[in-house]
Amino acid sequence: MSLKPLQTGVAFVLAFLSGNVWADYTLNMTRGVTSISHDMYRLHMTIFWVCVVIGIAVFAVMFYAIIYHRHSIGAKAAHFHENTTVEIIWTIIPVLILVAMAVPATKVLIKMNDTTDSDLTIKVTGYQWRWEYEYMGKGVRFLSNLATPAEQIKNRDVKNPLYLLEVDKPLVVPIGKKIRFLTTASDVIHSWWVPALGIKKDAIPGSINEAWAKIEKVGIYRGQCAELCGVNHGFMPIVVDARTPEAFEEWLSQQAKKDAQS
């Protein structure tokens, strides 16, 4: 195993914990490391600013009335109570804004749903309360469990910085390859969510859902189960270890050998 991805991973974790990045991360959605997560972030910011502009307009009129049309400063009530033109205008303008928003959202949605031509398929199975990863056709399959000790959860030990976001065996993936994720579950519904990958897909017993990611940067990306799945729903994190294709292939062949032996 080369050291480079490890170093990058550590660097990412340090950056994540340092003030600057941390503040950015906590207040807003992550930009992520896939083109889909970038699209999601962009749509999120666009609709956010649309809301801000509409909000300023509506609240400006409202607070103008609150300040200048007060009974206590002698305001006299006007008598108008309808105006068809105005009512038509404020029905049509929102429709136009919505159409303008729907177009880019539709494009991204179509892109997200295109799971064809993938380089690698990984099946993700949710269990109460752990994830199983299977590299389809590669003979590699393992469980990924929470690695935070119970002592820390019960406040008997100091919590480490990755409290509740660490697993015993992370999902190792290559960067720059189109990875297709198939999600399913063996008991109740779970949801596999890694914000940086722009993927949240329910893992549903009896059916298989698809999602895809093409990761741009080497790094460690963390997520959690996003669908209430019982007592330990809060304790089944996801850790994705994205490596260079070469490092990934090396890891995969070692893993396949190990699995074949056992």
Partner 1 sequence: MSSITVDGQHNGSIEGHNHHHTDAGHHGPAKGISRWLFTTNHKDIGTLYLWLSFILFLVGGVMALAVRAELFKPGLQLLDPNLYNQLVTMHGLIMIFGAVMPAFTGLANWMIPLMIGAPDMALPRMNNWSFWILPFAFTILASTLFMDGGGPNFGWTFYAPLSTTYGPKSTDFFIFSVHLMGMSSIMGAINIIATIFNLRAPGMTMMKLPLFVWTWLITAFLLIAVMPVLAGAVTMMLMDRHFGTSFFDAGGGGDPVMFQHIFWFFGHPEVYIIILPSFGIISEIIPTFSRKRLFGYASMVYATASIAIVSFSVWAHHMFTTGLALGAQLYFMFATMIVAVPTGVKIFNWVATMFKGALSFETPMLFCLGFLVMFTCGGFSGLMLSIIPADFQYHDTYFVVAHFHYVLIPGAIFGAIAAVYYWLPKWCGHMYSETLGKIHFWLSAISLNLTFFPMHFLGLAGMPRRIPDYALQFADFNKIVSIGSFIFGAAQVLFLYIVIKTIRSGAPAPANPWNAKGLEWTVPSPAPYHTFSTPPMIPAETH
- Least spacing, CB of residue 34 vs partner 1, in Å: 12
Distance between CA atoms of residues 185 and 183, nearest Å = 7
Distance between CA atoms of residues 83 and 104, nearest Å = 34
Check if the beta carbon of residue 180 is closer than 8 Å to that of residue 197.
Answer: no
214: nearest Cα among 170, 181, 238: 181
User: Which tokens in the block code for residue 131?
Assistant: 């994830």
- Least spacing, CB of residue 6 vs partner 1, in Å: 22
Distance between CA atoms of residues 29 and 196, nearest Å = 9
Check if the beta carbon of residue 241 is closer than 8 Å to that of residue 255.
Answer: no
Check if the beta carbon of residue 237 is closer than 8 Å to that of residue 255.
Answer: no
- Least spacing, CB of residue 9 vs partner 1, in Å: 17
User: Which tokens in the block code for residue 222?
Assistant: 């963390």
- Least spacing, CB of residue 218 vs partner 1, in Å: 20
- Least spacing, CB of residue 233 vs partner 1, in Å: 6
Task: Pick the closer one to partner 1 by CB: 50 or 256.
Answer: 50
CA 86 to chain centre: 41
